[in-house]
Amino acid sequence: MKLTYSITGMHCESCVKKIENQIRPLVKDITVSLHPPKAVITTDSTPDLNRLNEELQKIGKYKLDSESELTTESKPWFKTYQPLFVIVLMITLVSLKSWPDREAFMLNFMAGFFIVFGSFKLFDLAGFKSAFSTYDLLAQTWSPYGLFYPFLELLLGFAFLFKYQLQFALWGSIVLMGFGSLGVINALRQNKQIRCACLGTSLNLPMSTITLIEDLVMVIMSVMMLLK
């Protein structure tokens, strides 16, 4: 018989292989997918879920759950990214408080973007570091960068919020987001099926052009502010 389980804690294709290799000795066969995060297990009898999770705990913060309904397969594109759109919309609406002052609007938007996105990453810093290293070029060669990155975003966010050292903050935004976009472009070019870490591990969002747009919007706004 075949049993389907949802999986939490996965970030990349490497996680898929680790889980398959760890569980396969306990069952006849297992197929793990990242989007949606699930495992289809072929077995002669219902396996002990606690036993399976004990094995997974040996290789990471993974967990199987047979009770969760996996609906992400049938989710349309908008539904998949709806939480991200809502967050960006709220940041935009708050920033419109300063309209029609375009400069103030962009400063408020960038402040909100970096503070909110940086804060989400802090909920699971280790998980973010792991997911981020699957596509960021610097994090792949120097792993501590993934731990520092959320604090760099927060630093930029508060600099924009309080209009502190704006020239340095704007250049910092261009370098941080511009360089980050290179890793995203590389992942998209290779058609990698990986998790977007823009909001840490709080939301299970697949990597797509949406991630690239986020980075480039920050770069464009920063350039516009420098050229004003």
Residue 76 clears pLDDT 80, i.e. is over it? no
- Give tens-digit pLDDT for 15-39: 888 998 999 888 888 888 887 788 8
Confidence of residue 146 (pLDDT cuts 50, 70, 90): very high
* Poorest-pLDDT segment among 33-47, 57-71, 80-94, 149-163: 57-71
- The predicted model scores a pTM of 0.71
The predicted structure's pLDDT at residue 75: 62
User: Residue 123 to residues 4, 72, 97, 132, 141: CA-CA distances in angstroms?
Assistant: 28, 23, 29, 14, 24
Closest CA to 92 of 115, 119, 112, 78: 112
Which domains are seen in the chain, by residue range?
A: 2-73 (3.30.70.100), 75-227 (no CATH)
- Amino acid identity for residue 68 in this structure: S
Residue 47 clears pLDDT 90, i.e. is over it? no
Residue 202 clears pLDDT 90, i.e. is over it? no
The predicted structure's pLDDT at residue 191: 80
Confidence of residue 151 (pLDDT cuts 50, 70, 90): very high
The predicted structure's pLDDT at residue 10: 82
The predicted structure's pLDDT at residue 66: 64
Specify the higher pLDDT residue, 175 or 142. Answer: 175
User: Residue 80 to residues 36, 159, 207: CA-CA distances in angstroms?
Assistant: 11, 32, 11
The predicted structure's pLDDT at residue 9: 84
Percent with pLDDT over 90 in the chain = 48
Residue 73 clears pLDDT 90, i.e. is over it? no
Say how far residue 152 (Cα) sits from the centre of its chain: 16
Residue 41 clears pLDDT 90, i.e. is over it? no
What is the average per-residue pLDDT within 129-134?
82
Percent with pLDDT over 70 in the chain = 94
The C-alpha atoms of residue 1 and residue 86 are separated, in whole angstroms, by 41
- Give tens-digit pLDDT for 157-178: 999 999 999 999 999 999 999 9
Q: Tokens representing 156?
A: 């930029």
Specify the higher pLDDT residue, 49 or 145. Answer: 145
The predicted structure's pLDDT at residue 79: 82
The C-alpha atoms of residue 26 and residue 51 are separated, in whole angstroms, by 9
